């Protein structure tokens, strides 16, 4: 009797279903991680703008000895600069006292998982004789979307 050689012609339906299931599991893990990465990048841009605002505030404070008023051209320049970002919907500068002020930045385009009213970052500036410090832990944006320097340790 003659034996016939049987060659495999491709993947079976079961093998294809397993491959599709594996790709589905990988996508389910990768998409949320990518969204987190994108939101952190958006927040990092806001942090970059706040560093520029810190420099502007330090130059003003070093020159006159107090933080600018909310109606001052420096405050307006800071608000305009921060609002130039495609990820900051609005930025509002507020003077607290001679040595303290803050900027409330409302983030935009953060994705559908960030609800309205939970997308603000507050940057607090405190001036002293030799420097201005920046605290970016304020606001109600999720801690996971902030850089590590702007997270509140729980």
CATH number of the domain bearing residue 139? 3.30.700.10
- pTM, full prediction: 0.75
pLDDT in tens, 76-130: 999 999 888 888 888 999 999 999 999 999 888 776 666 656 788 899 999 988 8
Number of domains present in the structure of the chain: 1
Q: Is residue 65 part of a domain?
A: yes
pLDDT tens, 51-71? 899 999 999 999 999 999 999
Q: Is residue 138 part of a domain?
A: yes
In a domain, 36, yes or no: yes
Is the residue at 8 inside a domain? no
Let me know if 72 is exposed, middle or buried by CB neighbors in 10 A (0-12, 13-18, 19+). Answer: middle
3-state secondary structure of 41: helix
In a domain, 122, yes or no: yes
């Amino acid at each position: 009797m003659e034996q016939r050689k049987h060659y495999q012609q491709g993947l079976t339906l079961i093998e294809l279903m397993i491959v599709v299931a594996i790709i589905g599991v990988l996508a389910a893990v990768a998409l949320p991680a990518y969204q987190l990465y994108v939101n952190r990048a958006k927040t990092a841009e806001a942090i970059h703008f706040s560093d520029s605002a810190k420099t502007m505030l330090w130059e003003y404070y070093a020159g006159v000895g107090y933080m600018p008023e909310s109606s001052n051209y420096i405050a307006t320049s800071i608000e305009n600069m921060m609002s130039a970002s495609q990820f900051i919907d609005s930025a509002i500068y507020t003077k607290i006292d001679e040595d303290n002020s803050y900027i409330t930045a409302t983030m935009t385009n953060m994705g559908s998982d960030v609800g309205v009213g939970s997308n603000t970052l507050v940057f607090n500036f405190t001036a002293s004789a030799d420097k201005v410090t920046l605290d970016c832990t304020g606001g109600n944006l999720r801690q996971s979307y902030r850089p590590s320097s702007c997270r509140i340790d729980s």
